[in-house]
């Protein structure tokens, strides 16, 4: 009986129509990238940065753990003995075109040097810029701390997050 009623009066179709109508008045979820920023969550994993000491020396000690743990093998480190017998980082290269942003490097770092930042815009017209070195990574830290992002929209809240 109910079935006949439903068939005659298209109740299911009307229900469907009701749903679409109600959705029409919802706020659209679209972000108009690149004209409008997509929101970035606190635990977002973007381009890495490496912390520096107050005097500008890198915190990284060149222990190779991030290179070892990296599943996409995008980190390449070369170290050597410095003039005073200290550990010297000859080369620290991170290939952003290979990085899968898993955050293992951040996890494994024993000296709290490498971190995942909030910057994610790697778009460039050639590949050369994808391999970033210690200089860029340190600059990234500065940019992250100062909120000097390429994407201006990143919120102030995040700046505080880095400073902590």
Q: Toward another protein, which CB reaches closer, 68 or 135?
A: 68
CA distance 58 to 68: 20
Distance CA 130, CA 148 (A): 19
**CB of 160: closest distance to another protein in angstroms?**
28
| Residue 99 near residue 117 (C-beta atoms within 8 A) | no
Contacts of another protein in 86-125 (CB under 8 A): 87-88, 110-111
User: Of 52, 62, 119, 154, which lies in the binding site for another protein, with binding defined by CB under 8 A?
Assistant: 62
- Cβ distance to another protein smaller for residue 71 or 110: 110
Omega before residue 34 within 30° of 0, cis: yes
For 50, phi then psi, to 5°, come to -120, 125
Q: What is the dihedral of CA 107, 111, 112, 113, to 10 degrees?
A: -100
**By rule CB under 8 A, what string of x and - marks binding of each residue 15-54 to another protein?**
-xx-xxx-xxxxxxxx-x----------------------
Task: Please list every residue from 70 through 89 that binds another protein, using CB under 8 A.
Answer: 79-82, 85, 87-88
Distances (CA, A) of 97 to 44, 136, 153: 18, 15, 24
Minimum CB distance to another protein smaller for 56 or for 110:
110
Number of residues counted as binding another protein (CB under 8 A) = 31
- The least distance separating another protein from the CB of residue 162, rounded to whole angstroms, comes to 23
Q: How far is CA 7 from its chain centroid?
A: 53
Binding site for another protein (CB under 8 A): 13, 16-17, 19-21, 23-30, 32, 61-65, 67-68, 79-82, 85, 87-88, 110-111
């Amino acid at each position: 009986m109910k079935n006949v009623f439903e068939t005659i009066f298209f109740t299911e179709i009307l229900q469907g129509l009701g749903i679409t109508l109600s959705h029409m008045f919802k706020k659209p979820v679209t972000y108009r990238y690149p004209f409008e920023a997509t929101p970035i969550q606190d635990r977002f994993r973007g381009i890495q940065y490496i912390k520096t000491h107050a005097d500008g020396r890198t915190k990284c000690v060149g222990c190779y753990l991030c290179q070892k743990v990296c599943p996409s093998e995008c980190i390449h480190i070369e170290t050597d003995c410095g003039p005073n017998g200290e550990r010297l980082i000859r080369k620290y290269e991170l290939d952003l075109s290979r990085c899968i942003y898993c955050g293992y490097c951040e996890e494994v770092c024993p000296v709290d040097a490498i971190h995942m930042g909030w910057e994610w815009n790697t778009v460039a017209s050639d590949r050369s810029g994808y391999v970033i070195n210690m200089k860029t990574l340190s600059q990234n830290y500065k940019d992250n701390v100062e909120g000097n992002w390429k994407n201006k929209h990143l919120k102030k809240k995040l700046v505080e997050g880095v400073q902590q």
